[in-house]
A and B are shown apart, each in its own frame.
Chain A
Amino acid sequence: MNKDTVTAASAARYQPASHYVDDAFYDWLNEVSLDLDAVTTQCTGRPEAALAAEIERLLTVESRLLDQHAYTEWLELYTSECAYWIPANRPARDPRAQITLEFHDRRRLLDRVARLGTGLAYSQLPASRTARQLSGLEIWASPGRNDEWRARCNFLMAESRAGKRRVLGGWYGFVVRRVGDALRLVIKQVNLLDPDEPQGNNSFFL
């Protein structure tokens, strides 16, 4: 088999193809990550009220769809070239050099949704019931762009599963982009309070 045949065979097998997780993407992610966690008293680039409300609405819906286990609808809120990232460190480190708790492109998110959808994912039988509280939302424009914004908010997530209750907390970082008429999520970064401490059963989506 020559190179092209091999590549073509795997390309046909691993759908949807995922060509965007390259060095430039990781560089950009690290830049976004620093910006999301920057210590600043400025609030420049805040979008006008209607747009800010639209972004806030998107984040609220994202959160609610997860609480509803509506994973297919949830993933539709994301762009085709998205990333879902739970760093294993605080602050987040470069995911090229350090393991994360989770780092998924769209294809692996589809894997995870499909796995939960089999009804045989025992870590989610019964499923975790969750209620997310978001607060302290800040939104600002991505530098040099007029179609993309960054957002950060704290979260508290009450969880109940199989008679056990937990509270997870931390902050979310988002990148939101205008795609056609719709706003879509490009990045969700979940910064747990204690990602470097032993985690419980987080086999749903945070």
Chain B
Amino acid sequence: MVKNMNDSLPLAASSSSWDWLIQDDRIHRTVYTDPSIFAREMNNIFAATWVYLLHESELPEPGDFRRAWMGTRELIVTRDEARALHVFANRCTHRGATVCREAAGKASSFTCPYHGWKFDNRGQLFGIPGKTAYGAGFKARDMHLARPAQVASYKGFVFATLNPDAPPLETHLGAAASFMDEWIEHQGGADNIVVGGAQRFHLDCNWKMVFDNAGDGYHPPFSHQSLLQMTNARYGGGDISYFADADRSRMSLHALGNGHTLIDQRPDMYANSAWEQQRPQPGREVFEAHVRATVADEDTKRVLESAVGAGMNLNIFPNLLLIGNQIQVIQPLNTAGTTMHWHATRRRDAEDALNTMRMRTQEDFPIMGEMDDAGNFEECQRGLTSFPEDEWIDMSRHHETGQDVADEHGRIVGPVTSELHERAYYAQWKRLMAAEPTLQVNKSRIA
């Protein structure tokens, strides 16, 4: 085992500064702007807790691989000939060059382009050019590609952590697991989900701007005003228009523990028919006519609605957002830079017509809505950076109204516009940032 004792810590864990930076109802601006805080997040959050990597359907065949990230750490995830998954650092154990230069593909081995060291697709070193030049000291060392301390999959969703002391993945997911199950059920079950490509966006903002928004039921009538106005003018309402007076809606916000949260849109989106609620997408008439002609009357609503999003915004701290039918992944790059990956999904059991409709539906919000949010995140970053004397970010909405209420399962449920989401995930953020986690990789031979 190789231990990384976090070379230089920018902030002392024992410091009371965390309680000052993250208060009950406000956050200090430097949490979004200070490079030393970002550097510590990459260890204490994006390595020391479970980080989502990819969905197993992205590696359907033996030999498939794709790059993935734990924050700024780049990994390769592979499926070997026995169909087992492997996760290892994209970093040659010789001089540090990346051994994989492609985003995804098929490979039985990875040869470092610099000096030709060869690793199999389980990350095991099996070839060194001119091996006779090495002696016993070298041969005693573990030189296989570095593997995270723990890797686990929850119903096809693959996570990893460098922290050997992190609780089991299911414990970490906790109350969020049953909502993941509901999301998976909307897709027809765990084995039914197939990732069908991705849209990727670069944002000039801190990654938490994206996470903040993922549980924000307050912004839609404002940030998405153009979308709502257009939808009303052209179609007399529909889509997310139920957010217009959100605190009177049937939607709710749930704090699920460990920083995970949920916006449940289903009571409004599925109140009558989610298919009728959604804006018309290309191919709508053709698909609807096809379903009505081929599916029994009592099943048409269910089939049409399986082309529509799940009505959940399920946020698994720190980087997995299940939104609509998409698997969204947050990849922090630096203090003010973030990549968003929006993975689209189709259903294995569905005919092509349904999956085609799902693609057109999943393309709708990114260009019609997400762009306006992204612009607002970037402007938040600019505002926070440009005016340091105004130090605080407010998250007190519904903090003092008594409307965030613990339910019988120990979850807290509040109005959909409550800033409970931020308060809940920042409590977890603070716990993790104040800790002194052990981060480990393993370069030994796979048993």
Task: Mark A residues whose CB is within 8 Å of B.
Answer: 3, 6-7, 10-11, 13-15, 17-19, 21-23, 26, 83, 88-89, 93, 95-105, 107-108, 110-112, 114-116, 118-123, 125, 196-203
Which B residues are in CB contact (< 8 Å) with A97? Answer: 196, 346, 352, 355-356, 359
In the complex, residue of chain A having the shortest beta-carbon distance to the beta carbon of B227: A115
Contacts of A23 in B (CB 8 A): 352-353
**B276, A121: Cβ atoms under 8 Å?**
no
Contacting pair A96 B202 (CB below 8 A): no
Q: How near does chain B come to A99, taking the closest CB pair, in angstroms?
A: 4
Contact of A120 with B225 in the complex, beta carbons under 8 Å: yes
Q: Which one of B136-144, B154-162, B366-374, B430-438 is at the interface? A: B366-374
Contact, CB under 8 Å: A104 / B282 = yes
Interface residues of B in 278-301 (CB under 8 A from A): 279-286, 288-289, 292, 297, 300
Q: What are 11 A-B contacts with C-beta separation under 8 Å?
A: A14-B284, A21-B360, A88-B198, A101-B367, A108-B281, A114-B230, A123-B372, A198-B200, A200-B201, A201-B375, A203-B367
CB-based contact A89/B197 at 8 Å: yes
Q: What's the dominant secondary structure at chain B's contact region?
A: helix
Cross-chain contact B362 with A99 (CB below 8 angstroms): yes
Q: Which residues of B contact A104 (CB under 8 A)?
A: 282
B200 touches A98 (CB 8 A): no
For residue B427, CB closer than 8 A to chain A, the reply is no
> CB distance A96 to B229 under 8 Å?
no
Q: Are A120 and B286 in contact (CB under 8 A)?
A: no
By a CB distance below 8 angstroms, the chain A residues around B229 are: 118, 120
Which residue from chain A places its CB closest to the CB of B235 in the assembled complex? A13
Cβ-Cβ contact count across A and B, 8 Å cutoff: 148
Are B202 and A198 touching (Cβ within 8 A)? yes
B286 adjacent to A21 (CB under 8 Å): yes
B339-379 interface with A by 8 A CB criterion: 339-340, 342, 344, 346, 352-353, 355-356, 359-360, 362-364, 367-368, 371-372, 374-376
Considering only residues 284-332 of chain B, those with a C-beta below 8 Å from chain A are 284-286, 288-289, 292, 297, 300
Q: Tell me which residues across on chain B come within 8 A of A99, comparing CB atoms.
A: 196-199, 342, 344, 359, 362-363
B200 touches A197 (CB 8 A): yes
User: Within 8 Å CB of A201, what residues of B?
Assistant: 371, 374-375
Say which residue of B236, B356, B372 sits within 8 Å of A121 (CB atoms).
B372
Nearest Cβ on chain A to B205's Cβ, whole angstroms: 12
Contacts A7-B288, A96-B352, A121-B226 given; indicate if A114 touches B197 (C-beta within 8 A).
no
Min distance, Cβ B204 to any Cβ of chain A, angstroms:
9
Name the B residues within 8 Å of A83 (CB-CB): 282
Q: B103: shortest Cβ distance to chain A, in Å? A: 7
A107→B356 CA distance, assembly (Å): 17
By the criterion CB–CB under 8 Å, are A14 and B280 in contact?
Answer: yes
B447 at interface, CB cutoff 8 A: no
Q: How far is the CB of B347 from chain A (nearest CB, A)?
A: 12
Decide if B197 touches A93 in the complex (CB within 8 Å): yes
Chain B positions within 8 Å of A121 at CB level: 226, 371-372
B234: Cβ under 8 A from any A Cβ: yes
Given contacts A114-B233, A118-B226, could you give 7 more A-B pairs where the C-beta distance is less than 8 Å? A18-B283, A23-B352, A97-B352, A114-B230, A121-B372, A196-B103, A203-B367
Which of B279, B340, B363 is in CB contact (< 8 Å) with A102? B363
Quick check: B359 and A98 within 8 Å, CB to CB? Answer: yes
- Verify A112–B367 contact, CB threshold 8 A: yes
Question: Most B CB atoms within 10 A — which of A98, A125, A198, A200?
Answer: A198
| Complex contact B199–A88 (CB within 8 A) | yes
Measured between beta carbons, the chain B residues less than 8 angstroms from A13 are 235-236
In whole angstroms, what is the CA distance A28 to B235 when docked? 30
Candidate in B288, B353, B367, B376 with the most chain A CB atoms within 10 angstroms: B367
In the complex, A202→B203 CA distance in Å?
A: 12
> Among residues 196 to 244 in chain B, which have CB atoms less than 8 Å away from a CB atom of chain A?
196-202, 223, 225-227, 229-230, 233-236
Q: A120 to B226, Cβ gap below 8 A?
A: yes
Q: Is there an interface contact between B372 and A122, defined as CB atoms closer than 8 Å?
A: yes
Decide: A14 and B235 in contact? CB cutoff 8 A.
yes
Q: Are A107 and B297 in contact, with the CB atoms below 8 A?
A: no
Q: Contacts of B281 on A, CB cut-off 8 Å?
A: 108
B285 contact from A3, A17, A202, Cβ within 8 A: A17
Lowest 10 CB-CB distances: which A-B pairs, in order? A99-B344, A198-B202, A203-B371, A123-B371, A105-B282, A21-B283, A14-B280, A98-B197, A121-B226, A120-B226
Complex Cα spacing A7 to B297, Å: 13
Q: Chain A residues near B227: list those with CB within 8 A.
A: 115
Tell me whether B103 and A118 are in contact (CB under 8 A). Answer: no
